[in-house]
Amino acid sequence: MIYITRRETFAASHRLYRPELSDEENYKLFGKCSNPNGHGHNYTIEITVAGEVDPYTGFVLDLKKLKEIIQNEIIIHVDHKNLNVDTQFMKGIIPTSENICIALWKQLEDKIPNGKLFSIKLYETENNYFEYRG
Ligand code: NI
């Protein structure tokens, strides 16, 4: 089994909050990420696909193809967007890194033509990342 990974970056804004709570209560729960007017992050994602090497091409999955799929299924929906309001697949979901990973997985899972989606890593800052394996 070979694991291939494509890294991409995007910039997006979000606000972590529960609408039924006051700003103060949201601050207690979510800290600075609940600031009422939102804030941005430069996100990095790493998408890993696992599969067997196709003996004809020598590829698991052509990385150009993987790049294109990530672009169309993810990047155009999140880059320079507000995840709370602009991104259809995040509607009604608190845009924590955990939930973003799961939503990205759902976006990509069925779209990988060769091999299988193995993991999605998301870095919100340099020092921590979140990983989802379905
Ligand atoms: Ni944040």
Query: Ligand 1 centroid to 61 CA: how many Å?
Result: 33
Query: Ligand 1 centroid to 48 CA: how many Å?
Result: 24
The SS3 of residue 72 is: helix
pTM of the model: 0.94
117 Cβ contact list (under 8 Å, min separation 6): 47, 48, 49, 105, 108, 109, 134
40 forms beta bridges with 13
Q: What is the pLDDT along the chain (134 residues), one digit of tens a residue?
A: 999 999 999 999 999 999 999 999 999 999 999 999 999 999 999 999 999 999 999 999 999 999 999 999 999 999 999 999 999 999 999 999 999 999 999 999 999 999 999 999 999 988 999 999 99
Give catalytic residues, as residue numbers: 33, 80, 124
CATH number, domain at 83?
A: 3.30.479.10
Query: Ligand 1 centroid to 15 CA: how many Å?
Result: 7
The CA angle 26-104-16, to the nearest 5 degrees, is 10
Q: Strand 81-82 and strand 2-14: pairing?
A: parallel
For 25, 28, 103, 113, the CA distances from 120, given in Å and listed in that order, are 31, 29, 10, 17
Query: Ligand 1 centroid to 108 CA: how many Å?
Result: 23
Q: What total number of domains does the chain contain?
A: 1
What is the distance between the alpha carbons of residues 8 and 77, in angstroms, rounded to a whole number? 13
Q: State the residue range of the domain holding 15.
A: 2-132
